[in-house]
């Protein structure tokens, strides 16, 4: 259908449209018109992605006439399957365009992923872990390796990269939609490396789909996304966890093991320098000369050389010359040694130390006379040295890279970070295991360049409530903030708040555990196919499973359904998940016990019969005793005036909403959502749930007993088992073009968006 | 003569049939006989049609061989060659002996099929009794309507009786009972043992290795329940029992399953993340102590329970689908060798493509919204239609009634004069057809007869 959204012709590749999709596009267009940022919450399963793509593609097509507007869409998602799904939806849209307009448009869209997902080199791609693939790739494609090949033809190189380097850059990637597999196919046909091809092609592509890290992690962003056009629209989908991604990308942990490995690295560096000095001293002199001229010049390195780029450095620093104290190779190694010794001494503590970055810098100056300035150059200087020394396998040098990144970060940012040194784990106070946490507390640091640089940034997800908290913690000013609900003809969600308690003090209580068990047991007899149950933490789940086993509850559940349990091992859990789906598929039915904040709760959808009921046992608060968290809460309070409790509840609620939202993935889907904790009924918790969940809470679903829940579920499931007809939906939660254009409906639609 | 191009296995001359001299041919698929001097067969039977052969007793003057067909007809051949009649007959007999069983299977298949249909479908059986046994229609006519259905259905589906899966809780059913004097009693049934064997092939192997030469059956199970293997949550105290090997084997099977990875990329947690943070970066809020050294006994026993449940469920599931022939361990090992490479793009894209397409589909937004239905496969359709009602209680069933009714119809039809005022008869008839749940669009002849019969018996009752 062709839509007219405030004067913009939007091609929408379906015959019908949900009212909320229309409303979403409306808000999105206003955001783009204003060239500002937006926060949009819409429940999953309402076709968020296709609405986004339809509108932005339409916008791009129009703006090709007005060269001032949007030129590029950068779509960031979280997981590889999500990325691939987005590209497939885009393909659908483009096919629709081609069918309607009858012309092939020269649109280029592609997905970019890590080497592990794109490599086609037979040996390299068979490696199992991403890190190994990266390392191996580097050892085949680094510029000095390739230079060595001129001297020594036996030096192995990657033929795909060679071929790409020779011819791949001259011809642009032909227009089309490229998913990861398409890129690989194309690469195989041409004999070009798909990874470097994709990285090159994103510069002139109309749409780029990749993961958050390529934009948020300064170590990669600098490398991949540096040259993307300013007039881009950036979309962060599934963005409810974006603050944690930001923080993770800027934080560093240093253990004694890191330091030991670093020591080895430094020794290796020393030896290599010694060797080179004897054979090829000119090389070192050349490097020295370049460093005098400034880092920028030293940095004209070929793209492949930068394996891990430095953390964000202000541009003015790069223009300066490297300080004299670390300019020669030996001096720099000596400098590293001193820094390392200092860190070692700091780890020899017997009590917990917490200090700020300036305190740390002062201390390091007092103790070992290391200045702030050379520290800031540490990461760059190390990269330059590794290049000069022609180290093949940079993966071995991850420890020293980590230390130098830490040095750069700690000396660059005086605010927003904290240093915590813990001599032992809280649970095992007798075993010494000192760790230095350099922890970022301010997610806005990592995302700031994105907001500054790009014209429009859209943050969207199914669970962003309360909406106003994201602009605060990410420190930006949105032009639109809206929350949309799912319009339904009947309620396809049954929400039950069961009055059980798992307060931290009582949750090990025998009666509580047994009540939980009874709830699950009763539900397993009532609910068809799959049930997913989430616990608040892994340890807690282990304990509960053990006591259910002792009490014989699990055996009774087994009479109704098979039981699968998430473990800490990802491969094992994947297998359990697949078996779980198989059991749901063949009608036996199964229960999956899982953990909130775990991998399953974040990345796996339980559509239709894979999840007919979700039970959330307890409120998934984060582990509050952690010092890092405490520091962060303090920071939030001081900087953004967010109360500790508010943030903790917000965090718990977004995870709970994520968990229960896993089961409803569309309007034809239905499921039970059971919050098994009476604390959910309190206003402060309820108020922080997304609007589309809150709508289903009524007085009849509050404070239920187990029996009442079972009765309610039975009734609900019997209703839902009736055939789902399109006619019932039409005009209410599903619109034809005519219906959409009626005055009355447009009136209604304006009410869907809940502005804040 | 096309038939002559068949391979001729045996030719016997001077064989008389119906007092005519001729030649008997045993060919690849049939036995044929042609009168002397003519080049065409007057008798020709497919081996498949032959039920059995009979020979005349040795002492008799006439040396004969009789072929009895499934239809009940028979053909007798008289071996008339004076010198070698007995030899000829024996040669023929022996060859037929070899040939007939080969074809018998083919012939029986259809019979078996009919038999099976009748057994599985009591309504059909009743109908058969009513119509065929009472000679309302002949057996051929009866089957002519049905066999089309037989041949169309996939033989694999028809022959494969659905296997009964294993209850997930079969171990829970063997609750120990105290026998009053400090002992425990486990009640084992054949079903449970079967379940254990199917779920844990390793135990079955142990069983076949040890019972009966090393242990008696009772001892075997006693040890099984005492073993660490059965009580997996208890920490291994180092005692060596025969089942410790089983545990290892299970572990191995589980591991190979894990290594094999998952086929559906959407549930593969390993490849979910696009980029994992390098070691040392990121925030670890709770430090997971993964090393076994500082794990408490309780923790490791907990994780053993979790592992056990996952394994148990996977095995139960596998036992249901593997039809008992291949033990999983081997199956998984062989498949892991051919699917071990991570870059096994060979089979991955199709699964992946399909799953991705499924994931982005909004079926309600599309216009052509044909509902995907699964054909309902009812084993007892009458049970579905009527609920558990004994079949006999339906009062229309005796054969004699039907015969009477049919006769009555014949009689009526003969004197039939159209009388348009009596259309209500027709409506009444329709009601009866409906009430018997013949909701199919086409009602075949026998069913109509059936209905008419019932209808008429009602009429008779009313008139009385």
DSSP conformation letters of A509-538: -HHHHHHHHHHHHHHHHHS-SEEEEEES-H
A423 by Cβ neighbours in 10 Å (0-12 / 13-18 / 19+) ranks as: middle
Nearest CB to B262: which of A428, A435, A575?
A575
B193 touches A: beta carbon within 8 Å: no
Dihedral angle computed from the Cα positions of residues A369, A375, A379 and A381, in that order, rounded to the nearest 10 degrees = -70
Using CB atoms within 10 A of its CB, is residue A569 exposed (0-12), middle (13-18) or buried (19+)? middle
Mutate one of B168, B251, B349, B366 to test the A interface: name it (highest A CB count within 10 A): B168
Contact B275 A622 (CB under 8 A): no
Does A358 or B386 have the greater pLDDT score?
Answer: A358
Dist CA A39 CA A45 (whole Å): 18
Long-range contacts of B160-166 (CB under 8 A, 24+ apart): B163/B320, B163/B323, B163/B324, B165/A588, B165/B316, B165/B319, B165/B320, B166/B195, B166/B198, B166/B199, B166/B316, B166/B319, B166/B320
Cα A422 to Cα A424: distance, rounded to the nearest angstrom: 6
Measure the CA–CA gap between A86 and A77, rounded to whole angstroms. Answer: 9
Give the separation between CA B84 and CA B284, rounded to whole angstroms: 99
Q: How far is B384 from chain A (nearest CA, A)?
A: 18
Nearest CA in chain B to A425: B287
φ/ψ (deg, to 5) at A468: -75, -10
| Predicted local confidence at residue A129, as pLDDT | 79
More confident residue, A698 or A269: A269
Count Cα atoms within 13 angstroms, Cβ side, for A587: 5
Q: How confident is the model at residue A332 (pLDDT cuts 50, 70, 90)?
A: very high
| Distances from the Cα of B107 to the Cα of A699, B53, B146, angstroms | 70, 15, 17
Phi, psi of A67 (to 5 degrees): -70, 5
Q: Which residue in A has a C-alpha nearest to residue B257's C-alpha? A: A575
A281 touching chain B per CB within 8 A: no
Instruction: Specify the pLDDT at position A11.
Output: 92
Average pLDDT over residues A735-739: 84
- Cα first-last separation, chain B: 66
Helix, strand, coil shares, percent, chain B, to 5: 50, 10, 35
Asked if A570 contacts A79 with a C-beta cutoff of 8 angstroms, the reply is no
Lookup: tokens for B73: 């007809």
**Tokens matching residue A426:** 């809280």
- Cα distance between residue A649 and residue A465, in whole Å: 11
Dihedral angle sign, alpha carbons of residues A580, A584, A588, A592: positive
Task: List pLDDT tens digits, range B375-411.
Answer: 666 666 666 666 665 555 445 556 677 778 788 888 8
Are B342 and A126 a contacting pair at CB < 8 A?
yes
Is the bond leading into A205 cis (omega within 30 degrees of zero)? no
Residues B289-347 pLDDT 10s: 444 445 566 777 788 888 888 888 888 888 877 554 433 333 333 333 333 333 444 44
The DSSP code for B269 is G
Of A45-49, A525-529, A708-712, B160-164, give the lowest mean pLDDT range. Answer: B160-164
The residues, ordered by sequence, that sit 6+ positions from B459 with a Cβ below 8 Å of its Cβ are B425
User: H-type helices in A142-179, by residue range?
Assistant: 143-151, 159-163
Task: Locate all alpha helices (DSSP H) within A299-397, ordered by sequence.
Answer: 315-319, 329-347, 357-368, 372-388
pLDDT tens by residue, A455-513: 899 999 988 888 888 999 999 999 999 988 887 766 667 777 777 766 667 777 888 88
Residue B265, chain A, CB below 8 Å: the answer is: yes
Name the residue with higher pLDDT: A280 or A642: A642
Judging contacts by C-beta atoms under 8 Å, the chain B residues touching residue A667 are 364
Q: Alpha-carbon distance B230 to B172, whole Å?
A: 12
| Total count of residues recorded for chain B | 464
For A60-105, how does the pLDDT look when each residue is reduced to its tens digit (9 = 90+)?
A: 888 665 555 778 899 999 889 899 999 999 999 999 999 888 877 7
Angle formed by the axes of helices A19-33 and A48-63, nearest 10°: 40
pLDDT at residue B346, rounded to an integer: 44
C-alpha span between A86 and A68 (Å, rounded): 26
Asked if A23 and A749 touch (Cβ cutoff 8 Å), the reply is yes
Residue A91 is predicted with a pLDDT of 92
B217 neighbors B211 (Cβ within 8 angstroms) = yes
More confident position, A585 or B163? A585
The predicted pLDDT at position A296 comes to 53
A260 touches chain B (CB under 8 A): no
Whole-number pLDDT of residue B157: 47
Under a CB-based contact definition with an 8 Å cutoff, are residues A5 and A735 in contact?
Answer: no
> Does B372 reach chain A within 8 Å, measured CB to CB?
no
Q: Identify all chain B residues contacting A735, using CB atoms and an 8 Å cutoff.
A: none
Residues of B in contact with A728 (CB under 8 A): none
Structure tokens at A418: 């904290």
Residues whose CB is less than 8 angstroms from the CB of residue B29 and which lie 6 or more positions away in sequence, other chains included: B6, B46, B47, B48, B103
Nearest residue in B to A610, CA atom: B267
Pairing status of strand A530-535 against strand A590-595: parallel
The 8 Å CB, 24+ separation contacts for B37-45 are: B39/B1, B40/B1, B41/B3, B42/B17, B43/B17, B43/B75, B44/B3, B45/B69, B45/B75
Closest CA to A673 of A565, A456, A527: A527
Q: Flag whether residue B162 sits within 8 Å of chain A, measured between CB atoms.
A: no
Q: Please name the helix (run of DSSP H) or strand (run of DSSP E) that holds residue B113, with its range, or none.
A: helix B85-120
Q: How many Cα neighbours within 13 Å face the side chain of A376? A: 20
First-to-last alpha carbon distance for chain A, in angstroms, is 31
Cβ-based contacts of A131 with chain B (< 8 Å)? 276, 278
A13 pLDDT band, cuts 50/70/90, is very high
Report percent pLDDT > 90 for chain B: 0
Tell me, what's the pLDDT at A37? 94
Rounded to the nearest 10 degrees, what angle do helices A743-752 and A19-33 cross at? 70
Q: Return the percentage of chain A with pLDDT > 90, whole number.
A: 33
- Taking alpha carbons only, the member of A718, A242, A732, A221 closest to residue A474 is A242
Q: Average of pLDDT values for B154-170?
A: 62
pLDDT of residue B66 exceeding 80, the answer is: yes
List the one residue out of A241, A406, A392, A409 whose CA is nearest residue A307: A392
Q: Say what the ipTM of the complex is.
A: 0.83
Residue among B459, B455, B447, B413 at smallest CA distance from B431? B455
Whether B283 and A248 have beta carbons less than 8 Å apart is answered as yes
Q: How far is A289 from chain B (nearest CA, A)?
A: 33
Spell out which residues of chain B touch residue A125, defining contact as CB-CB under 8 Å. Answer: 342-343
Burial tier of B129 (Cβ tally within 10 Å: 0-12, 13-18, 19+):
middle
User: What are the DSSP calls for B415-462, one per residue?
Assistant: T----GGGHHHHHHHHHHHHHTT--SS---HHHHHHHHHHHHHHHHHH
Strand partners, B64: B78
Could you tell me the pLDDT band of residue B163, with boundaries at 50, 70 and 90? low
pLDDT single digits (tens) A17-72: 988 899 999 999 999 988 899 999 988 878 899 999 999 999 888 866 555 577 88
The answer for A 335-394 residues in CB contact with B (under 8 A) is none
Residues 6 or more apart whose Cβ sits within 8 Å of residue A365: A371, A372
Length of chain A as a residue count:
756
Cβ-based contacts of B301 with chain A (< 8 Å): 546
Highest mean pLDDT among A402-411, B184-193, B389-398: A402-411
By C-alpha distance, which of A479, A480, A416 is closest to A448?
Answer: A416
Q: A309 pLDDT exceeds 50? A: no
Instruction: Tell the residue number behind the tokens 């057996």, with chain if given.
Output: B139
pLDDT at A326: 84
Closest by Cβ to B274, choosing from A213, A247, A549: A213
Put simply, the answer to whether A579 touches B168 (Cβ < 8 Å) is no
pLDDT, position B158: 47
Q: Does residue B58 register a pLDDT over 80? A: no
How far is residue A700 from each of residues A501, A523, A708, measured CA to CA in Å?
19, 19, 10
pLDDT of residue A683: 86
Q: How far apart are CA A292 and CA A314, in angstroms?
A: 19
pLDDT tens-digit readout, A136-186: 888 888 877 887 888 888 888 888 998 888 888 888 888 999 999 999 999
Q: Say if residue B212 is preceded by a cis peptide, omega within 30 of 0.
A: yes
pLDDT in tens, B110-158: 777 778 778 777 788 888 888 887 877 877 777 777 665 545 444 444 4
| A275 pLDDT higher than 70 | yes
Whether the per-residue pLDDT at A362 is higher than 90: the answer is: yes
Q: What pLDDT was estimated at residue B336?
A: 35
DSSP 8-class letter at A353: E
Nearest to B360 among A88, A554, A562 (CB): A88
């Amino acid at each position: 259908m062709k839509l007219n959204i405030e004067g913009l012709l939007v091609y929408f590749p379906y015959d019908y449209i949900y009212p909320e999709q229309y409303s979403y596009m409306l808000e999105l267009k206003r955001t783009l018109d204003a060239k500002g940022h937006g926060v949009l919450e819409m429940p999953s399963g309402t076709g968020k992605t296709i609405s986004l793509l339809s509108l932005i593609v339409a916008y791009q097509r129009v703006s090709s006439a007005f060269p001032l507007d949007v030129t590029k869409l950068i779509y960031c998602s979280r997981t590889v399957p999500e990325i691939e799904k987005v590209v497939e939806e885009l393909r659908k849209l483009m096919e629709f365009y081609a069918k309607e307009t009858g012309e092939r448009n020269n649109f280029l869209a592609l997905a970019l992923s890590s080497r592990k997902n794109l490599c086609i080199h037979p040996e390299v791609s068979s490696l199992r872990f991403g890190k190994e693939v990266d390392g191996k790739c580097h050892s085949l494609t680094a510029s000095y390796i390739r230079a060595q090949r001129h001297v020594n033809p036996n030096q192995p190189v990657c033929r795909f990269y060679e071929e790409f380097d020779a011819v791949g850059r001259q011809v642009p990637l032909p227009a089309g939609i490229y998913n990861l597999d398409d890129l690989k196919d194309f690469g195989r046909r041409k004999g070009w490396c798909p990874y470097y091809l994709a990285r090159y092609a994103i510069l002139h592509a109309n749409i780029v789909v990749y993961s958050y890290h390529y934009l948020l992690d300064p170590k990669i962003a600098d490398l991949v996304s540096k040259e993307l056009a300013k007039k881009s629209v950036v979309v962060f989908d599934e963005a409810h966890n974006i603050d944690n991604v930001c923080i993770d990308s800027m934080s560093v942990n240093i253990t004694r093991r890191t330091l030991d490995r670093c020591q080895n690295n430094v020794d290796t560096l020393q030896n290599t320098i010694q060797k080179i000095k004897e054979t090829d001293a000119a090389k070192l002199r050349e490097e020295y000369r370049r460093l005098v001229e400034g880092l920028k010049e030293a940095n004209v390195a070929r793209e492949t050389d930068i394996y891990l780029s430095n953390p964000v450095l202000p541009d003015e620093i790069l223009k300066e010359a490297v300080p004299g104290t670390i300019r020669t190779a030996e001096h720099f190694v000596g400098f590293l040694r001193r820094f390392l010794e200092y860190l070692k001494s700091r780890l020899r503590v017997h009590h917990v130390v917490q200090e700020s970055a300036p305190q740390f810098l002062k201390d390091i100056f007092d103790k070992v006379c290391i200045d702030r300035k050379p520290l800031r150059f540490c990461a760059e200087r190390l990269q330059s040295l590794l290049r000069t020394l022609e180290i093949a396998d940079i993966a071995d040098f991850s420890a020293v890279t980590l230390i130098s990144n830490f040095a750069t970060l700690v000396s660059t940012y005086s605010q927003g970070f904290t240093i915590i040194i813990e001599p032992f784990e809280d649970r095992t106070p007798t075993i010494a295991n000192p760790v230095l946490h350099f922890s970022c507390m301010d997610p806005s640091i990592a995302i700031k360049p994105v907001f500054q640089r790009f014209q429009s940034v859209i943050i969207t997800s199914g669970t962003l409530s309360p909406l106003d908290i994201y602009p605060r913690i990410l420190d930006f000013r949105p032009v639109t903030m809206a929350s949309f609900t799912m319009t339904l003809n009947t309620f396809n969600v049954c929400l039950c708040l069961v009055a059980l308690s798992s307060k931290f003090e009582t949750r090990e209580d025998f009666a509580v555990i047994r009540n939980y068990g009874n709830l699950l047991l009763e539900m397993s007899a009532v609910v068809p196919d799959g049930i997913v149950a989430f616990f608040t933490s892994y340890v807690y789940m282990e304990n509960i499973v053990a006591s259910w086993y002792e009490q014989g509850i699990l055996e009774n559940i087994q009479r109704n359904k098979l039981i699968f349990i998430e473990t800490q091992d990802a491969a094992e859990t994947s297998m359990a998940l697949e078996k779980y789906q198989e059991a749901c598929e063949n009608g036996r039915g199964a229960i999956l016990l899982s953990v909130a904040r775990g991998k399953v709760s974040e990345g796996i959808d339980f559509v239709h019969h894979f999840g007919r009921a979700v039970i959330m046992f307890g409120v998934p608060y984060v582990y509050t005793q952690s010092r890092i968290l405490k520091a962060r809460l303090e920071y939030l309070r001081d900087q953004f005036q967010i109360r500790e409790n508010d943030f903790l509840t917000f965090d718990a609620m977004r995870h709970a909403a994520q968990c229960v939202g896993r089961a409803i993935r569309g309007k034809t889907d239905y499921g039970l959502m059971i919050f098994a904790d009476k604390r959910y009924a309190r206003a402060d918790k309820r108020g922080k749930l997304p609007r589309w969940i809150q709508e289903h809470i009524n007085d009849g679903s509050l404070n239920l007993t187990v029996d009442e829940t079972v009765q309610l579920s039975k009734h609900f499931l019997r209703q839902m088992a009736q055939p789902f007809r399109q006619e019932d939906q039409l005009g209410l939660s599903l619109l034809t073009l005519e219906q959409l254009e009626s005055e009355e409906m447009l009136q209604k639609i304006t009410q869907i968006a809940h502005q804040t | 003569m096309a038939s002559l191009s068949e391979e001729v296995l045996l030719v016997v001359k001077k064989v008389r049939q119906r007092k005519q001299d001729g030649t008997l041919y045993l060919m690849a698929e049939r036995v044929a006989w042609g009168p002397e001097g003519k080049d065409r067969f007057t008798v020709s039977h497919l081996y498949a049609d032959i039920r059995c052969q009979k020979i005349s007793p040795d002492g008799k003057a006439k040396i004969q061989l009789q072929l009895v067909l499934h239809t009940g007809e028979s053909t007798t051949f008289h071996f008339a060659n004076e010198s070698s009649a007995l030899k000829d007959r024996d040669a023929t007999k022996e060859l037929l002996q070899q040939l007939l069983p080969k074809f018998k299977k083919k012939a029986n298949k259809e019979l078996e099929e009919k038999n099976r249909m009748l057994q599985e479908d009591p309504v059909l059986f009743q109908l058969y009794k009513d119509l065929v046994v009472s000679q309302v229609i002949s057996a051929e006519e009866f089957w002519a309507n049905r066999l089309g259905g037989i041949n169309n259905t996939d033989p694999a589906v028809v022959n494969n009786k659905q296997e009964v899966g294993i209850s997930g809780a079969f171990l829970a059913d063997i609750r120990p009972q105290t026998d009053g004097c400090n002992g425990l009693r486990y009640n084992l049934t054949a079903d449970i043992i079967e379940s254990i064997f199917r779920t844990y092939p390793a135990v079955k192997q142990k069983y076949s290795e040890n019972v009966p030469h090393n242990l008696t059956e009772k001892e075997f199970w006693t040890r099984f329940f005492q073993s660490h293997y059965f009580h997996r949550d208890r920490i291994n105290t180092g005692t060596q029992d025969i089942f410790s090997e089983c545990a290892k084997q299970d572990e191995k099977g589980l591991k190979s399953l894990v290594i094999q990875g998952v086929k559906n990329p959407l549930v593969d947690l390993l490849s979910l993340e696009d980029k994992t943070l390098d070691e040392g970066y990121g925030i670890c809020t709770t430090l997971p102590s993964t090393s076994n050294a500082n794990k408490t006994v309780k923790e490791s026993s907990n994780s053993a329970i979790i592992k056990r449940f996952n394994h148990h469920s996977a095995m139960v599931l596998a036992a249901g689908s593997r039809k008992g022939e291949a033990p999983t361990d081997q199956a998984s090992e062989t498949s892991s060798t051919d699917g071990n490479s991570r870059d096994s793009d060979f089979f991955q894209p199709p699964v992946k493509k399909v799953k991705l397409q499924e994931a982005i589909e909004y079926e309600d937004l599309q216009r052509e919204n044909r509902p995907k239905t699964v054909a309902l496969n009812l084993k007892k359709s009458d049970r579905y239609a009527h609920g558990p009602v004994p079949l006999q209680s339906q009062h229309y069933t005796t054969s004699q009634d039907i015969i009477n009714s049919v006769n009555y119809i014949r009689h009526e039809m003969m004197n039939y004069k159209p009388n348009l005022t009596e259309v209500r008869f027709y409506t009444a008839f329709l009601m009866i057809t409906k009430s018997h749940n013949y909701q199919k669009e086409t009602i075949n002849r026998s069913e109509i007869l059936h209905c008419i019969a019932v209808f008429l018996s009602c009429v008779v009752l009313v008139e009385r």
